[in-house]
Amino acid sequence: MITIIGAGKVGTSAAAFMMIKELDDILLIDIIENKPQGEALDLSHAASILGLSVSITGSNDFKDMAGSDIVVVTAGFPRKPGMTREELLTKNAGIIADIAEKIKEYAPNAIVLLTTNPLDAVTYVMYKKLGFPRERVIGFSGVLDAGRLAYYASKKLGVSPASITPIVLGMHGQAMFPVPRLSTVMGAPLTTLLSEEELKEITEETVKAGATVTKLRGYSSNYGPGSGLAVMVEAIKKDQHKAFIASVYLQGEYGYNDLVLEVPIILGGKGFEKIIELPLTEEEKKGLDESAQAVKNLIEKLPPEYK
C-alpha cells in the first residue's frame, strides 16, 4: 500500500497520477476531519469511470498506514508572503518530526518520499528523526527542477522535453544549480546547442518556475510535484533501477558530509541504490558549493532537537 500524508493539492494530485498508473492501493491521511475521505471518494469515482482496479481510501488516523511499503509526505505549511525560509523551516521541522514518529511506529519498513519545504533541510530532519538507512529517505525535488529545465530548453530547441536529459544539482529553491553543460540532447550538451543568452534565460526560468506558477494562479505547483512523485513511486514499486535527481543524505559524495542535496541517483525497489557523481569543472563545483552552503545555513538554524 502507498500512504500519502497530506491531502492537499500536491497529495491529491500525486494520488491521482498514481491511481492512473495503477501502482497500488492508496491511503490518504490528513489531520483535517473528512478532508482525506472526501478526496478519496472523488478519486474512487474517477477510478470507477476510468475502469481502474485501485482502492483509494482516506483517514485521519495514522494507524491505518500500518504495513505501507511507501510513505509520501506532502504535509506542512506553505511559505506565505513575508515569511523567511528559516521561519518556514522551524514550523515544518516540527511537523516532520511528529510524522517521523508515526512512520517509525506504523510503517517501519517503508521507503519515505518528501515534498515539504524547505525540502533539503526538511529531508535532513526526517532522516535524523527516522533513523532509517539513508537509502529509504528521499526528498522529491530534483525531478521537478530537472523537468522544468527540460521544458524551458525544449522551447528554445524545438524538440520534445523527453529528448533532453536535464541536470540540476544542489538546493531545491532559489539557490538551485542547473548545469547546462551536463544537460544533453542525444549526448550534445545544451552549451553547444544554445547561445549564452538562451542558456541564461532557461536557467533563470527554471529557478523562478515555482514562483511564476504561484504568481500566475495564486497558489503553488501541484501537478508537477504530483506527477514527479508518481514516476518515483513507480520506479520503486516496479524496481526499475531508474535514474532520477533527488535530495538525499550525502556521506562524502561530491565532497559533502552530513548534508542533503539534489544529486543524480538510481532508484529501485529498496530505495536509492547509488549516487552518481558527475564530473564537474572547477567553476561548476564552485557553483554547487554555493548552493550547498545555502542548505547548510538552513540546517545550522534548526533547533537542536531536530538534528
Same domain, 146 and 134: no
Choosing from 35, 85, 128, 172, the catalytic residue is 172
Which amino acid is present at 227?
S
Strand order in the sheet with 164-165: 164-165, 184-185, 188-189
Query: What is the spatial distance between Cα 272 and Cα 234, in angstroms, rounded to a whole number?
Result: 13
169 and 53 together in one domain: no
Question: 218 in a domain, yes or no?
Answer: yes
CA distance linking residue 71 with residue 109, whole number of Å: 10
Beta bridge partners of 266: 243, 274
pLDDT digits (tens, 9 = 90+) for 47-66: 999 999 999 999 999 999 99
The type of residue at 144 is L
Domain, as residue range, for 42: 2-139
Q: 273 and 266 in contact (C-beta within 8 Å)?
A: yes
- Domain boundary, last residue among 139, 170, 189: 139
pLDDT at residue 82, as a whole number: 59
Q: How far apart are CA 165 and CA 186, in angstroms?
A: 8
Catalytic annotation present for 45:
no
**134 shares its domain with 155:** no
Share the mean pLDDT of the chain: 95
What gap in Å lies between CA 151 and CA 158, rounded to an integer? 10
Task: Name the domain boundary from 110, 139, 168.
Answer: 139
Nearest-10 crossing angle of helices 9-21, 35-50:
30
Q: 212 in a domain, yes or no? A: yes
Which residue in the block uniquely carries the three cell numbers 492508496?
Answer: 26
Number of domains in the chain: 2
pLDDT for 280 equals: 97
Per-residue pLDDT, 223: 96
Residue 1 has pLDDT above 90, yes or no: yes
Query: Do 37 and 110 have their domain in common?
Result: yes
In a shared domain, residues 110 and 174:
no
Winning range, highest mean pLDDT, from 91-95, 194-198, 213-217, 301-305: 194-198
Note whether residue 307 is domain-resident: no
pLDDT at position 277 over 80: yes
Q: Is residue 43 located within the same domain as residue 174? A: no
Domain of 188: which CATH number?
3.90.110.10
Query: Does residue 190 lie in a domain region?
Result: yes
Instruction: Tell me the per-residue pLDDT of 16-45, one tens digit each, with 9 for 90 and over.
Output: 999 999 999 999 999 999 999 999 999 999
CATH of residue 125's domain is 3.40.50.720
Residue 199 CA to residue 194 CA, distance in Å, equals 6
User: How much is the pTM?
Assistant: 0.95
